[in-house]
Every structure is written in structure tokens, then in C-alpha cells.
């Protein structure tokens, strides 16, 4: 479980991004943060793997304050998928996915079988794709690799910041379906940022609506639709 207790964030230039945020994200939940641009979604997400630290308040994971985790272990335990496709262009797909397992010094055989397994999980044939470079894949395929990479070291939590927003509508719908299906299979916690309510309603177990750095409503898609 990830818990935010009275978390606020003011950036160095004085911008107040979050005010007194309280949130509880359960294990294995598909949790969606939604709201207009600038409402604090990315700030909230980045705090979970300490790319940003709060100005005040406490964030804990499994009852332990995240500030007390070793930062590398925390980041290995929390996969991150960005909006902009962030694969290393000079590296093959296999090398891109293997970065964290190699940092963790898994043996070569285990890394290779993990890469194959992950590519299968995200719907890419390892024999066809693992030796290619990112620019030999479509945008949707590259995001699939991004998801595989985030899952590589078997994290407990996966953070996704508008991962599909740069894709064409058809690839996007397919990836939404596939990520929901994948999550049901692997039962990891996913925290997903979007500004698209249709996407949120389609994929979320629970949706957190944010506005101007505050939580407006948290509920299931059913709650959100019936008690706006
Ligand atoms: P969202 O992801 O919902 O678009 P963000 O969390 O990125 O919102 O931003 C929340 C607010 O904080 C915005 O007003 C944004 O401009 C501001 N902000 C984000 N990052 C920084 C930063 N590094 N320095 C100053 N202000 C920032
Ligand atoms: P998003 O696409 O999630 O809205 P942004 O374009 O707001 O992302 O932010 C991209 C990057 O710029 C982030 O790392 C964010 O922290 C930073 N950033 C956003 N707003 C500001 C700001 N007002 N001043 C400085 N950095 C900012």
C-alpha cells in the first residue's frame, strides 16, 4: 500500500503544486490520477519514486516512509513508464529491457529468459524484436517495450505518466486493453496519469480526480459516473 499523508509541494520558484494531499493506493490496484494540465498529477507520481520530494507531509510504502528506503532499491522496486518514449536509441530492444536486471547483476541466462518472457507479455515476438533498435519499431511497439522495461526487475509498483497519449487512437485502445489484461495477470499496483476521462473510466479500478493541487474525488468508475 502507498499512502500520502498531508503531502504538500511547493517548487523552488514558489509554485504550489500540491496542497495537503491524502491518498491511499492499495496493492494490486489500477489507480488513475486525472485532472487538467498543471493540477499536480506528475508531481504526485514522481514523489512515489522520489524523483521529487515533498515540501511537507509523509509518503509511505508498506508502512515504511519512502524517504527511509535506499533510493536505488526504491527505484528498482517501482517501474516508471514515461509519456515520451524513452528508450536508448543506440541500444537494442533486449539491451534496453535488460538495464535494471544487469544493474542487479542477474546472471546472463536469467536476464535473457526474462527479456523473452517480458516481450511475450507485452505482445511482441522476442525472435522478431529483441535485436532491433528502437527506431525500427512503431510508436506503439516502443511503448510496449517501455512497459516491458518497467516490469523487468519485477517491481511491486509501476508508475505510468500518460504513456499512450502520443499514440494514434487505434494503437492506444489496443494498449489500454493489453495493459489492463496484463495488470490482472501480474497483479501489480499501477498508478497511471492521464487527462483523458474516457481512458480513466476504461482502465481504472479507482480514479482520483485532481484540481489545482488538491483531490476532488476518489472512487470507482461507477462512483464517478453516478456521483459526479
Ligand atoms: P500535471 O502533471 O497535472 O500537468 P504537474 O505536477 O506537472 O501537473 O505540475 C503542477 C504545477 O507545478 C504546475 O503549475 C507546474 O507548472 C508546476 N511545476 C511542475 N514542475 C515544476 C518545477 N520543476 N518547478 C516549478 N514548477 C513546477
Ligand atoms: P506534463 O506533460 O506532465 O504536463 P510538463 O510539460 O508540465 O509535463 O513538465 C515537463 C517537465 O518540466 C517536468 O519534469 C516538470 O517537473 C518540469 N516543469 C513543469 N512545469 C515547470 C515549471 N513551471 N518550471 C520548471 N519546471 C517545470
User: What is the pLDDT tens value at each position of the chain, 228 positions in all?
Assistant: 999 999 999 999 999 999 999 999 999 999 999 999 999 999 999 999 999 999 999 999 999 999 999 998 898 889 888 877 789 999 999 999 999 899 888 999 999 999 999 999 899 999 999 999 999 999 889 999 999 998 888 899 999 999 988 888 888 898 999 999 989 998 999 999 999 999 999 999 999 999 999 999 999 999 999 987
- How many other C-beta atoms are found inside a 10 Å radius of the C-beta of residue 209? 19
- Please give the pLDDT value at position 58: 97
- Please give the pLDDT value at position 82: 83
Q: How far is the CA of 40 from the centre of ligand 2 (A)?
A: 10
- Please give the pLDDT value at position 189: 96
- Please give the pLDDT value at position 166: 82
Which residues fall within 8 angstroms of residue 31, CB to CB, at 6 or more apart? Answer: 25, 189, 190, 191, 192, 204, 205, 206, 207, 208
C-alpha 68: how far from its chain's center? 21
Q: Is the CB of 189 under 6 A from ligand 2?
A: no
- Please give the pLDDT value at position 76: 83
Residue 126, CA atoms < 13 Å, CB-side half-sphere: 14
Ligand 2: which atom is nearest the Cα of residue 41?
3
Q: pTM of the entire structure?
A: 0.87
pLDDT digits (tens, 9 = 90+) for 50-75: 999 999 999 999 999 999 999 988 98
Q: Which ligand is nearest to the CA of 16?
A: 1
Gap between the terminal Cα atoms of the chain: 26
Q: Which ligand is nearest to the CA of 44?
A: 1
Exposure string (b/e) for 22-61, b if CB count within 10 Å is 16 or more?
ebebeeebbbbbbbeeebbbbbbbbbbbbebebeebebbb
- Please give the pLDDT value at position 171: 87
Is ipTM strictly over 0.85?
Answer: no
Q: Is the CB of 37 under 6 A from ligand 2?
A: yes
Amino acid at each position: 500500500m502507498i499512502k500520502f499523508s498531508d503531502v504538500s509541494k511547493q517548487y523552488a520558484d514558489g509554485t504550489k503544486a500540491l496542497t495537503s494531499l491524502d491518498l491511499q493506493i492499495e496493492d494490486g490496484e489500477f489507480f488513475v490520477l486525472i485532472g487538467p494540465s498543471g493540477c499536480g498529477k506528475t508531481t504526485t507520481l514522481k514523489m512515489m519514486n522520489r524523483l521529487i520530494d515533498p515540501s511537507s507531509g509523509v509518503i509511505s510504502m508498506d508502512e515504511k516512509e519512502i524517504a527511509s528506503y535506499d533510493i536505488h532499491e526504491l527505484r528498482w522496486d517501482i517501474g516508471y513508464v514515461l509519456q515520451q518514449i524513452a528508450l536508448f536509441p543506440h541500444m537494442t530492444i533486449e539491451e534496453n529491457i535488460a538495464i535494471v536486471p544487469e544493474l542487479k547483476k542477474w546472471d546472463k541466462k536469467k536476464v535473457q529468459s526474462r527479456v523473452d518472457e517480458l516481450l511475450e507479455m507485452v505482445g511482441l515476438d522476442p525472435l522478431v524484436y529483441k535485436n532491433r533498435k528502437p527506431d525500427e519499431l512503431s510508436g506503439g511497439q516502443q511503448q510496449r517495450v517501455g512497459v516491458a522495461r518497467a516490469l523487468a526487475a519485477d517491481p511491486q509498483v509501476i508508475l505510468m505518466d500518460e504513456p499512450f497519449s502520443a499514440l494514434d487512437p487505434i494503437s492506444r485502445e489496443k494498449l489500454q486493453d493489453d495493459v489492463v489484461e496484463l495488470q490482472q495477470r501480474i497483479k501489480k499496483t499501477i498508478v497511471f496519469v492521464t487527462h483523458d476521462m474516457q481512458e480513466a473510466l476504461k482502465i481504472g479500478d479507482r480514479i482520483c480526480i485532481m484540481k489545482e493541487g488538491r483531490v476532488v474525488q476518489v472512487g470507482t468508475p461507477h462512483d464517478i459516473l453516478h456521483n459526479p
